[in-house]
């Protein structure tokens, strides 16, 4: 059965909604009088297509059909979901709702992306108030899962259940806000931080960059995976939330902030918060919560590091400093003994490299050996500048032998030997160790290519000569155990 979602308003938020529905298999109809709407939504879709599928280990449904319509009547015909994302002016929203409800199936749901208006305000004068609910998302809508679902008092339980089902089906997390309030939940926190930030800038305490760094280098990372109360529960140590409040609660009466209207911390309120915290996280010990927290932080920060962004940029910079102080070579001249296997990797196994068996995932062996190959290429002169000029190596064949287990936190090193380095070929043999224990071997045949023609080509002398020197020096080494072995055969 074809599912149709109508998007009213194709700006940043509306375009994100269109992408979220479309890439989850819904047909999407858009009404927006802006003559640039198709272009703008097309650009949002390009970003979504490049990113959203990568969140999952399973394929998304076949993409739906996107169409643009000149009237609301035409756009909502047959739709089971309408998402309103017009400007935050109540009179505009009321006009849109009136026209939508004049032509929409009575069983459909109308969600509003409003960040501030309460559902009771949106529902004023509506033909069927229970059909209209707040579904407030966060940008980018096609990636961030949170959507605040606020039905208000004049709601239909069936419509709320249907809304939850639809939102979950497109990979979102509908947070059912049971009591309406201006700005819902999340934006009230953002508003408090925003107001305080404005005061800090206004009073010359901090610049906008310094404020952003304070958030993204510190508590923002904790909030991203554990929220507020669970973060503070850990801060309370083994005594938990009650201890945290007793220790830090008095700070609320100190003149730190411009937002001084805070509740009195009565015993009843402390009990309420502590009880809710116990219900939320009491099934975990503090140590268990810390391990979850740490694993989550490693995953997020490594992702940031791959993009050289935020806290990840700091990690990348420290990595470069560690490399400069370590034994990993960057050029052939850095090698103390040209005739010895080359140290190409020396690192710890990250938490997120382990699998359900508790040891390093087989794909991470390939990643580690790939990193070793990249380092060897760099040492012989296949640098980013060389690649920019149009030459590189492509891997033609790989054989990995998994010989022993390795776990998160283990320090591994890879020693690399050049078996052949003449003409277009680079034949490498990598051995991975933890201490003296051999964990795995990786044999890789690479072919030099022209990035312009994408065909095999001879490397430039700046690469061919260092590679030949290293291959000649390594020719005196014993043939490594396992070189040339086929799957299932020991050699």
Q: Which residues contact 343 (CB under 8 A, 6 or more apart)?
A: 327, 328, 329, 413, 414, 415, 416
Q: Which of 376, 464, 480, 360 is nearest to 421 (CA)?
A: 464
Is 449 annotated in a binding site? The answer is no
Q: How far is CA 126 from the centre of its chain?
A: 39
Residue 236, annotated as binding a ligand: no
Residue 20, classed as helix, strand or coil, is helix
Cis peptide before 107 (omega within 30 of 0): no
The answer for residues whose C-beta is within 8 angstroms of residue 151's C-beta and 6 or more apart is 119, 133, 134, 159, 160, 163, 176
Give dist(CA 4, CA 456) in Å, integer. 49
Q: What is the DSSP pairing of strand 173-176 with strand 66-69? A: unpaired
Q: Please say whether the beta carbons of 485 and 491 come within 8 A.
A: yes
3-state secondary structure 445-491: EEEEEECCCCEECCCCHHHHHHHHHHHHHHCCCCCCCCCCCCCCCCC
Chain length of the chain: 491
- Token representation of residue 199: 């005061």
Is 491 assigned to a binding site? no
Token pair in block for residue 292: 């979850």
Q: Please, where are the H alpha helices in 135-219? A: 157-169, 186-202, 208-214
Measuring CA to CA, how many Å separate 73 from each of 29, 66, 97, 106?
11, 17, 12, 14
Among the listed residues 443, 440, 428, the one whose alpha carbon sits nearest the alpha carbon of residue 382: 428
Per DSSP, what are the bridge partners of residue 416? 342, 430
What's the CA gap between 241 and 262, in Å, rounded?
A: 18
Segment (H or E) for 120:
helix 119-122
Give the span between the Cα atoms of 244 and 230, in whole angstroms.
11
109 marked ligand binding residue: no
User: Closest Cα partner for 175 from 207, 138, 142?
Assistant: 138
Q: Nearest to residue 338, comparing CAs of 179, 152, 471?
A: 471
Residue for token pair 């690479």 = 446
Q: Does the annotation place 116 within a ligand binding site? A: no
357 burial (CB, 10 Å; 0-12 / 13-18 / 19+) is exposed
Residue 13 assigned as binding residue: yes
| Residue showing tokens 């382990």 | 354
- Radius of gyration over alpha carbons of the chain, in Å? 29
Give binding residues for NAD(+) as ranges: 9-14
Give binding residues as ranges: 9-14
């Amino acid at each position: 059965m074809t599912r149709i979602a109508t998007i009213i308003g194709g700006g940043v938020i509306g375009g994100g909604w269109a992408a979220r529905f479309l890439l989850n298999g819904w047909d999407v109809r858009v009404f927006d009088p802006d003559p640039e709407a198709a272009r703008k939504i097309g650009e949002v879709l390009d970003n979504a297509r490049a990113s959203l599928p990568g969140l999952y280990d399973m394929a998304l449904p076949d993409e739906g059909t996107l169409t643009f319509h000149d009237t609301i009547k035409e756009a909502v015909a047959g739709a089971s979901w309408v998402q309103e994302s017009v400007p935050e002016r109540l009179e505009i929203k009321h006009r849109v709702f009136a026209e939508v409800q004049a032509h929409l199936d009575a069983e459909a749901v109308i969600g509003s992306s409003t960040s501030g208006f309460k559902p009771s305000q949106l529902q004023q004068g509506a033909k069927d108030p229970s059909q209209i609910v707040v579904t407030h998302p966060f940008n980018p809508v096609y990636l961030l899962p949170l959507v605040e679902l606020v039905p208000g008092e004049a709601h239909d339980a069936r419509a709320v259940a249907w809304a939850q089902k639809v939102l979950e089906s497109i990979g979102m997390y509908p947070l059912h806000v049971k009591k309406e309030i201006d700005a819902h939940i999340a934006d009230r926190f953002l508003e408090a931080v925003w107001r305080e930030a404005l005061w800090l800038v206004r009073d010359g305490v901090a610049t906008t960059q310094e404020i952003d760094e304070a958030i993204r280098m510190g508590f923002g990372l904790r909030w991203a995976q554990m929220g507020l109360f669970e973060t503070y529960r850990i801060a309370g140590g083994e005594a938990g939330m009650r201890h945290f409040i007793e220790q830090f609660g008095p700070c609320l009466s100190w003149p730190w902030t411009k937002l001084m209207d805070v509740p009195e911390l009565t015993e009843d309120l402390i009990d309420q918060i502590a009880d809710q915290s116990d219900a939320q996280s009491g099934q975990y010990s503090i140590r268990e919560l810390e391990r979850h927290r740490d694993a989550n932080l490693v995953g997020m920060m490594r992702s940031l590091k791959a993009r050289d962004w935020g806290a990840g940029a700091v990690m990348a910079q420290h990595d470069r400093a560690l490399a400069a102080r370590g034994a990993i070579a960057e050029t052939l001249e850095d090698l103390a003994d040209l005739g010895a296997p080359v140290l190409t990797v020396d690192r710890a196994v990250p938490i997120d490299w382990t699998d359900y068996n508790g040891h390093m995932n087989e794909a991470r062996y390939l990643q580690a050996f790939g990193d070793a190959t990249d380092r060897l290429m760099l040492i012989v002169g296949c640098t980013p500048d060389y690649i920019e000029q149009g030459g590189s190596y492509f891997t033609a064949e790989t054989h990995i032998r998994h010989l022993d287990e390795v776990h998160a936190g283990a320090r591994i090193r890879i020693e690399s030997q050049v078996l052949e380095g003449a003409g277009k070929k680079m034949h490498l043999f990598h051995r991975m160790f933890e201490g003296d224990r051999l964990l795995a071997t990786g044999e890789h045949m690479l072919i030099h290519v022209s990035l312009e023609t994408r065909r095999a080509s001879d490397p430039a002398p700046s690469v061919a000569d260092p590679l030949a020197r290293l291959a000649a020096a390594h020719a005196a080494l014993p043939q490594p155990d396992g070189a040339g072995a086929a799957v299932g055969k020991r050699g």
